[in-house]
Amino acid sequence: MIAFLQRAGRTRPLQAQARRAPRASYRGALVVRAVETYARDFTKAPRLIQHKNEAKAFYAFLSQVYDYVVNPGHWTTEMREDALQPAQLDSADLKVVDVGGGTGFCTQGVVKAGIPPANITLIDQSPQQLAKARAKADLKGATILEGDAEDLPFETDTFDRYVSAGSIEYWPEPQRGICEAYRVLRPGGVACMIGPVHPTHPISRTMADLWMLFPTEEEYLQWFKAAGFADVQLKRIGPSWYRGVRRHGLIMGCSVTATKPAAGPSPLELGPKAEVSEQANTNPLSFLLRVVLGSVGGFWYFLLPVYMWLKNLVWPRTGPLADKF
């Protein structure tokens, strides 16, 4: 079944793509290592909604309840402030882009940090998510656009800060999206990527791999360094009631920040995009099966925080939650 879905969806093993794509000479071994790690991961799991059209369809439904279902269990205001703290949103003059900004929840955190909406651009591929963002009073005056995180419609060296929260898990090519973050930042600009972390528990890992990309912490660091960023730092975040438990993975589990050291595009050269919206997976049966089966994995991560919240209530508070399920 998975093999059929992958063939019908016209996905390609990234190891083959990496061989065809030109490799940059910049930090040679590091770049090769990042590309090879990225390729191996994409051949391991179906990740049925880690595709542009499937993700777009998934969010056409999820957008209706995103701020009421996803945020309370996975992405609280306290987590948002904690995750954005390393982004150095310390001047009202900063020009900020929020990539994959969805309903604008993270963008609201940027505004709360002191950046006026007029200095903020929010971009996402989901018109339903963007409609929710446009309706928020505290985002009035922000530029809100529909677009692709892997092919941003901005000039090189445009923004002082790049923020992306809960978006990388749907990118067919995370390395390409991070190279775009490098390109659109000005020299000295800071990128802040907030996203999931890889589960180690076998059931949660199966569900995560069915759904979307849950990178390891090491992969985040490799991708940013390979793109040319300097001073790459990772900060762990998570709901308070998880009490540090990370074996089940987290939809919002870390905040990675890095600085662009020099003007221009990323020194890492990549080949053609692996996937272009409107051209990917035109088989209707494959498309429907991918969205439905991938959503099963997503539903698991709807139930999981409820379970962890209940466990936090009944488990003794003298130490971390048990290493069992």
Mean pLDDT, the chain, as a whole number? 87
Find tokens 């919206």 and name the residue: 277
What per-residue confidence (pLDDT) applies to 120? Answer: 98
Structural domain span for residue 244: 2-266+279-314
Full strand arrangement of the beta sheet holding 96-99: 143-146, 120-124, 96-99, 159-165, 185-197, 250-259, 230-236
What per-residue confidence (pLDDT) applies to 280? Answer: 61
Other beta carbons within 10 angstroms of residue 12's beta carbon come to 14
Other beta carbons within 10 angstroms of residue 282's beta carbon come to 12
CA distance readout (Å), 140 to 65, 110, 116, 126, 143 = 21, 13, 10, 19, 9
Low-confidence ranges of the chain (pLDDT < 70): 1-44, 277-282, 319-320, 322-324
Per-residue pLDDT tens over the stretch 116-131: 999 999 999 999 999 9
Give the C-alpha separation, 45 to 36, whole Å.
16
| 272 domain residue, yes or no | no
What per-residue confidence (pLDDT) applies to 70? Answer: 81
| 273 domain residue, yes or no | no
Find tokens 């390891």 and name the residue: 216
Give the C-alpha separation, 174 to 207, whole Å.
20
Q: Give me the sign of the Cα torsion angle 133, 134, 137, 141.
A: positive
Give the C-alpha separation, 107 to 121, whole Å.
9
What per-residue confidence (pLDDT) applies to 284? Answer: 87
Percentage of the chain with pLDDT > 90? Answer: 73
Beta carbons of 238 and 250 less than 8 angstroms apart: yes
| 305 domain residue, yes or no | yes
- If one counts the domains in the chain, the total is 1
**Torsion-angle region of 144 (φ positive above 0: left; ψ -120 to 50: alpha; else: beta):** beta
Residue 200 sits in a domain whose CATH number is 3.40.50.150
What per-residue confidence (pLDDT) applies to 275? Answer: 84
| 203 domain residue, yes or no | yes
| 322 domain residue, yes or no | no
Q: Report helix, strand or coil for 179.
A: helix
Beta carbons of 256 and 232 less than 8 angstroms apart: yes
| 201 domain residue, yes or no | yes
Per-residue pLDDT tens over the stretch 207-259: 999 999 999 999 999 999 999 999 999 999 999 999 999 999 999 999 999 99
| 323 domain residue, yes or no | no
